[in-house]
Structure 1
């Protein structure tokens, strides 16, 4: 009676979106910190949960586990008790369990929480062969609950009693794959459905509350945290209100944006001469089908969903009882400026008349000219050898006008004329020529005061540079003459410097430009962000800079490089290949130590996770240069990881990323806050000056100003740029290195040791060959993904270093709206990749394999070639290696490598052939410290014999001694 769950893989819950519409606190708890506490809980679990329960508990071999139900609770009986006794003693447990008989079986009943603790500490890749069916079922249930927590697929809810209540945690079923896995778990042959559900709920709460108890010192507002971080009861009555209902009403806001049916606020202009009357009609839209309906046409269930959302929207728009509302310009103005943003963030839609596509926001503008006799002083103003305070009015003449965003200017008198009725109307939208100007009474008064008053023109030099590049001084636009423009142009020129002599490699023309650009910025004391497209070689440009700094004796302290774990191997190899003269220390792993002679190394290489954990150690040093790769890892300013990165002291800073902005402009601010702190102002200043006007109002003028402001410090080249295409080879092959995950490494060792026993004991030659080839296949599968070998357990990307690397590459490819082919030798691995890719990107990749008939194959090819939405195709190498023309893809990923490079080349040629008008990027995934790396070196050293190097060369693997075989396959 085996209970198997096909797939424990599901997408991580987007907590940021979940908390987006949540007020800071419930209505009756205004002075508390509820949302922050909730956010911190999710953040702590995301970053630290996995390592907390890694206790490696022993297997209970030949131990029977029986489940019995008592009401809605589950009781656990273990027999015989000896193995569990040994486990308790090994943990120093004080539990005294009394032996009893159940039928003729000697054992004891154990508390459920103790049972949870034992199973939580089991290695997810442990061999379960000598265990019972009940044991294996509970092991699978444990893995599911742990993945529920790790992937943040849970939300808080209120559990009410007569006079008290508790806040507990429950599974969150928005993700269909998660719901499917949940249903497979609770529908089993061991417990009835309701008991299974309650068991999952109890286990989930046990894990979360146990974890939060360990992290209790991380909460500043203990009173707010007490509601979520402790499983305690609270009184419902609170100052005349029901606190339980108040908190649940607040928590219901987390579901906004998750509904299939959403309200649409459709605003149309009435047919009147003045153009100042509007109608707003409330409709409902199905997000999947796109169908829009009148509210009367909805089913009762759909109406309930829409009414719940409209009830929340009344915080922003009153009188929503009426389906149709009349609005004047002031009403539309309020929706445009204050309301539409919040409605759209909650998943609702606001449709405005086409006239509002380009609403003008007036601004005060400073027009400046360099005084004739002060040109030299203006040039000195951008000498950054010091950041002294300067007074612009001493070197420039100024006038102040009103700018309308498109070059048109109004004098103070003209602006006063068009806003003369502002006292009566309170502001709103004013018809001006054939457009609308957005005005507000308070803002207009502020503008008029700006026109009359003198702006503060004393500032430090970094603020002057931002003002000059962005065209903005505080609340004023900043326009200047050609003389000052030339000074700015000269300042931003890139120095022409030689490449370092000890660079082992050739830079392409665009890479030389990038190297010189990096050098110019750091020499002037500025941090910078190199944001080249994936595959354009950001790493070698940064390595060239490090070599140059060392050659010029400017490395007074080491360079600190921080990257995701998936890129650690790539950095090691590229530093080794391009700069063997650099002394590199890898700071990673359980035995890591920043030794006393850390200053004797040129480069310290570590990961984001390690730096976050050991931040105090890193803060002890002042680094010459700090480089962060995949800088989108600090996109959220408030996370502990971002704060740890920014707390490290460094003379120079470089950020590397292929996706500087993924969702919000605040991500760009966070990167600039790292490279040039203060340059874009505070996060609130940035929101007011850029993020809100751009994200909410699509303000093209602000977009242009932001581009100008960041241009000197952010370099982004795309593969599609004409100057880049001409400089790239038609086919660029990149080895992508990764490490085994911890569970993978343990499984690899176990499989190798078991197989070596079989090889050593095989007497007949044919049996020995069979055992060797069985080992090769098994280790290939382990390197691919533990699930590929085990056929059960965790199918997520995190279980395999190779799938983590794959997802990282795919993120960049999809961000550039490109297509990709992924080749694997194994159909089952293709099926695993299908599920992992869907869970990460919410899109089903096409899967081309040998079991498809001709018609199905042709349909898949046609969809991939002709449908712009189809970005990813997975192919089994034998089925997809020959006879296909898939030149719409410009990226190829070899997930697992054949040892015959001719077969690999044939697969690559599906994209790299006649008709391909793009450069093809080929990624070969190789697992470091395993036989994959060793075999790859053999292939590269004897490429002309590559097809025989393994199976038919001078010395076949099958003819090697046991010691030689172990040497090739053992972990380095």
Structure 2
């Protein structure tokens, strides 16, 4: 432990502690304290349910393990051998934590990055740090500037943003509706604590849906010719009537993204900032192009070097928000959308503070900006999850309702002493802009079966490797094409691209790839893409399960199924598995657990083994983690849910790897969809086979490479 206590003098405020004195014995320092604590937690878990005190200790130990590991990694004075020994001892503590969490899976939520650390946990943390002979430094203590601490915020300003600011140094003040600021007519409630009673009003409920009264739309067609569903058009009509804040809590599959974009168009709330999870960032850009095509869109990746600073819609994911929070608050947005807004439920987390800071700065510049929080799961663990969303929307601050909501509460004429206050207060908050519709509520508006694509970015090393493999495959196809062309007589060589030869080259490659699975080919590439998408597909399925109930996940390859199931196991999500190598008894047990056990939220199915003969209509949501080679195979999978007796509209969510051959395969499947049905009806069209899609995919790859070479 020679290096375990050399801390704050070199590492600043990391870990919430600094060294008081150096110790050298293995039974002193923070690790022995953690080891003793985790053993006590393990013993209690073995005896039965973990007590609240032990749960707090579990979280504190996990936090200190994480901080100690980071401190050791940055310790430049300790030898590699000393670091290895300390890491080994920390791994022992982490292993016991994992075993304990396996006994009580509810402990897993305490390990989440956004998990709130209570005052009791901070007090316990202080005692454990001081028991280790270290001096505790509170996380909020501004001892060291954030920019000087490794891993803290690193602010950037992209060059194109600087250009925009220089081009428009004076932003026009927004005086619209300034006279409409609402102040309470009385101050009867000014001395009351109201946040608690407001939350209580939603706990009590009154059986009525939490839906803002919205006007009927005048039409369902957008200015760009897209058709809205009736429930979408109602929200847009509300914006046209002047409403500007929404907690849009529709179930997944009801088009919240489209509603947000069309609301911004109706309110002329551009430039618009959209803060979204990484997994749906690309989908937001695509939806913007579809619903508001006259508006330019830019997506921030990393430091944002390639963004368009003049764009109307700026899309950023939570993970990189800290780098851009400075200029995002100053650029002059007239609207802000936060997707999956339950991500900000913990007001003390960094991402929540950044979102709230930007929202406040937007309100300071624009009198009535469009502010929208989108989530299918507004409440995750506790009714208090509402409060950070209300604060983002400007309905409350940390302690009290703000002027508009306070005015509505004053108008009720009641105080929290009155029983009638609670239904009236609930209605007042709903009228601020809560909109919650379920599939069953609007079933007549939406198709009985639809496929929704979720494009995802493969930004890691696997994604770069896949794109490099695609380039190598394209190079090999071009080389083969060139060899055939060069062997022809000059008079037989085409002046442009020989489409017949392109198809023949694609067929040769397909046939050879089918016979020989060694080396890089279209089949191995699709498998690698599926593996890279697996964690993202599992993450999306987990979000769906949390918000709408049971979800069916389909994958082609066993390793993709394994990766998805590992994500669910790590998160404490109950799942069943249906595979080709199961006995009939094991298969029936897996189906029965998914259909009848409320704790089994997801079933992971083999696309080939479970695509037929199953009835899984207890769910109405399907996640296709990998693409099939035919529309028929895809349809068979979806029909495990979309079948006679299904009373809910069914949505199949296809996870598509953007900027890869995956996108082209999805387009080909869609273009061939319905050929089988038309053939059965007497059409002369040939039924599509998997070989057709495989060849067409390589035809597209080779054609694109030849076109790019000819430019």
TM-score range (shorter-chain normalised) is 0.5 to 0.7
SS in 1 for 2:467: helix
CA distance in 1, matches of 2:104, 2:460: 41
Aligned to 1:804: 536
Tell me: CA distance 1:708–1:926, structure 2 relative to 1, closer, same or farther (3 Å).
same
CA distance in 1, matches of 2:390, 2:316: 21
Aligned to 1:573: 286
- Are 2:353 and 1:643 aligned? yes
SS in 1 for 2:274: strand
SS in 2 for 1:561: strand
- Are 2:703 and 1:964 aligned? yes
How far has the Cα of 1:566 moved from its partner? 0.9
How far has the Cα of 1:580 moved from its partner? 1.2
Aligned to 2:343: 633
SS in 1 for 2:179: coil
1:710 to 408, 429, 442: 429
- Are 2:509 and 1:778 aligned? no
Aligned to 1:732: 450
SS in 2 for 1:614: helix
- The structure with the largest helix share of the pair is 2
- Deviation per CA, 1:735-789: give whole Å up to 9, x if none: 1221113222222134335555766788998974455555222221222224xxx
How far has the Cα of 1:733 moved from its partner? 2.1
How far has the Cα of 1:803 moved from its partner? 2.4
Q: Is the 8 A contact 2:623 2:655 kept in 1?
A: yes
Q: Is the 8 A contact 2:631 2:672 kept in 1?
A: no
- Are 2:392 and 1:674 aligned? yes
- Are 2:583 and 1:857 aligned? no
Relative CO higher for 1 or 2, CA cutoff 8 Å, sep ≥ 6? 2
Tell me: CA distance 1:813–1:164, structure 2 relative to 1, closer, same or farther (3 Å).
closer
Q: Is the 8 A contact 2:538 2:568 kept in 1?
A: no
CA distance in 2, matches of 1:759, 1:714: 56
Q: How does 1:689-700 map to 2 (within 5 A)?
A: none
- Deviation per CA, 1:436-458: give whole Å up to 9, x if none: xxxxxxxxxxxxxxxxxxxx549
Tell me: CA distance 1:172–1:812, structure 2 relative to 1, closer, same or farther (3 Å).
farther
How far has the Cα of 1:856 moved from its partner? 2.3
Q: Is the 8 A contact 1:530 1:715 kept in 2?
A: yes
1:562 to 272, 275, 288: 275
CA distance in 2, matches of 1:495, 1:544: 16
TM-score by length of 2: 0.62
CA distance in 1, matches of 2:695, 2:511: 17
SS in 2 for 1:871: strand
- Are 2:664 and 1:951 aligned? no
- Are 2:231 and 1:510 aligned? yes
SS in 1 for 2:384: helix
- Deviation per CA, 1:57-76: give whole Å up to 9, x if none: xxxxxxxxxxxxxxxxxxxx
- Deviation per CA, 1:255-310: give whole Å up to 9, x if none: 9999799xxxxxxxxxxxxxxxxxxxxxxxx979xxxxxxxxxxxxxxxxxxxxxx
How far has the Cα of 1:847 moved from its partner? 1.3
Tell me: CA distance 1:824–1:611, structure 2 relative to 1, closer, same or farther (3 Å).
same
Tell me: CA distance 1:957–1:496, structure 2 relative to 1, closer, same or farther (3 Å).
closer
Q: How does 1:482-493 map to 2 (within 5 A)?
A: none
SS in 1 for 2:442: helix
Aligned to 2:545: 813
SS in 2 for 1:845: strand
Aligned to 1:838: 569
Q: Is the 8 A contact 2:629 2:693 kept in 1?
A: no
How far has the Cα of 1:513 moved from its partner? 2.1
Q: How does 1:119-268 map to 2 (within 5 A)?
A: 161=24, 166-167=29-30, 207-210=70-73
Instruction: Extract unaligned runs of 5+ from structure 2.
Output: 1-11, 43-63, 77-82, 84-92, 106-123, 128-176, 202-211, 406-417, 485-504, 677-686
CA distance in 2, matches of 1:593, 1:962: 26
Instruction: Extract unaligned runs of 5+ from structure 1.
Output: 1-35, 42-155, 180-200, 214-230, 232-251, 262-285, 289-311, 316-382, 393-455, 474-491, 687-698, 787-799
Aligned to 1:30: none
CA distance in 2, matches of 1:457, 1:914: 57
- Aligned residue pairs, count: 518
SS in 2 for 1:878: coil
How far has the Cα of 1:878 moved from its partner? 1.3
TM-score by length of 1: 0.46
Q: How does 1:736-755 map to 2 (within 5 A)?
A: 736-753=454-471, 755=473
- The structure with the largest strand share of the pair is 1
Q: How does 1:15-414 map to 2 (within 5 A)?
A: 161=24, 166-167=29-30, 207-210=70-73, 385-387=179-181, 389=183, 391-392=185-186
Q: How does 1:529-540 map to 2 (within 5 A)?
A: 529-540=247-258
2:296 to 572, 575, 583: 583
Q: Is the 8 A contact 1:390 1:458 kept in 2?
A: no
How far has the Cα of 1:626 moved from its partner? 1.0
Aligned to 1:875: 605
Q: How does 1:607-626 map to 2 (within 5 A)?
A: 607-626=317-336
Tell me: CA distance 1:706–1:680, structure 2 relative to 1, closer, same or farther (3 Å).
farther
CA distance in 2, matches of 1:882, 1:911: 11
CA distance in 2, matches of 1:740, 1:169: 41
- Deviation per CA, 1:853-892: give whole Å up to 9, x if none: 2232223223333333322111111111112222222221
CA distance in 1, matches of 2:543, 2:185: 47
Tell me: CA distance 1:203–1:917, structure 2 relative to 1, closer, same or farther (3 Å).
closer
